[in-house]
């Protein structure tokens, strides 16, 4: 039935379904936040929740901007002279299209470039959306008391009960938003968001950028990305916002989502060329015809 539709109809269905899925996944953040968090019991002699409340080194909006923009930031060492601060994915794919256009003299390179850019960007947005959805579900289903819980909550307990486990109490803290957030330590949204963005960006560079004239540029950029991710994670620990296991869990979730969607979804849209990153022939080269065969079936795979 799908194959009986015209090419434009299939393209419209594909783009519309992708956009709806992305919107649904990311709107889950706001939908789940409306729910009430799980009431957790506590030991008042637990030293891990007695740390003071500190301001965020990196805010939630800041880490969102970082994790979502990183995969589309400019690889400035490659694209600096052409247009600073253009998206990384768009910049790299346009360079590849220009190189192919002059080498192969084909007129459909720009359309293929659009499909490459679309697939890379949409796959990342879906991976980030799934990571965000799972993070919020885990937070509100299981939760955990943050290291600054007692400072924020100020529970109404008697001194004689200071060493007892209590599962029924009332927080007297005046900052209601901070009190509600104090129950949602596990797992770290900062860690999962950073991990999915960095992992996807590193995989993208590994697959699409191969510079023979400057072979250390790509691993240098990848190392900077990875270090920036760990910096974000460490600030959550030093700001007393999360326990170490919260951060490890967030890193693992983000890493897993990026890996699964990068390999699985892009494998379908490029006829399996991305399933084995170490064994595929490089796409982005200077002075040769490597990668010419790639993308020739992109249009058909995109709308199939």
Residues with a known catalytic role:
190, 242
Q: What is the DSSP letter of 37?
A: P
**Is 284:210 a contact under the CB 8 Å cutoff?**
yes
**Is 255:196 a contact under the CB 8 Å cutoff?**
yes
Q: Which residue has the tokens 């307990």?
A: 157
**Is 247:191 a contact under the CB 8 Å cutoff?**
yes
Cα 246 off chain centre by:
17
Phi, psi dihedral angles at 166 (to 5 degrees): -125, 130
User: Any residues with CB less than 8 A from the CB of 261 and at least 6 apart, and which?
Assistant: 123, 124, 126, 127, 130
Phi, psi dihedral angles at 288 (to 5 degrees): -145, -175
Which sign does the torsion angle of CA 77, 83, 89, 94 carry?
A: negative
CA distances from 143 to 118, 183, 192 (A): 36, 6, 15
Nearest to 189 by CA among 10, 19, 47, 66: 66
């Amino acid at each position: 039935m799908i194959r009986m539709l015209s090419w434009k109809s299939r393209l419209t269905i594909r783009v519309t379904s992708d956009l709806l899925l992305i919107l649904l996944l990311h709107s889950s953040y706001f939908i789940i936040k409306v729910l009430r968090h799980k009431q957790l019991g506590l030991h008042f002699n637990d030293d891990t929740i007695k740390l003071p409340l500190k301001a965020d080194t990196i805010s939630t909006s800041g880490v969102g901007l970082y994790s979502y923009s990183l995969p589309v930031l400019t690889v400035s060492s490659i694209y600096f002279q052409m247009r600073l601060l253009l998206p990384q994915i768009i910049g790299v794919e346009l360079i590849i299209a220009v190189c192919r256009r002059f080498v192969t003299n084909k007129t459909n390179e720009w359309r293929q470039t659009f499909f490459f850019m679309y697939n890379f960007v949409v796959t990342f947005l879906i991976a980030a959306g799934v990571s965000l959805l799972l993070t919020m579900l885990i937070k509100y289903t299981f939760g955990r008391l943050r290291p600054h819980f007692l400072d924020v909550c100020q529970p109404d307990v008697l001194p004689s009960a200071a060493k007892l486990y209590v599962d029924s109490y009332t927080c007297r803290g005046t900052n209601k938003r901070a009190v509600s957030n104090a129950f949602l330590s596990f797992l770290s949204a900062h860690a999962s968001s950073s991990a999915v963005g960095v992992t996807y960006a590193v995989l993208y560079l590994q697959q699409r950028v191969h510079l023979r004239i400057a072979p250390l540029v790509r691993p240098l950029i990848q190392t900077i990305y990875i270090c920036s991710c760990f910096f974000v994670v460490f600030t959550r620990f030093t700001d007393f916002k999360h326990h170490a296991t919260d951060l490890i869990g967030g890193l693992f979730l983000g890493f897993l989502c990026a890996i699964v969607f990068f390999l699985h979804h892009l494998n379908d849209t490029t006829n399996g060329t991305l399933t084995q990153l170490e064994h595929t022939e490089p796409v982005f080269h200077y002075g040769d015809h490597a990668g010419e065969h790639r993308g020739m079936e992109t249009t058909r795979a995109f709308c199939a």
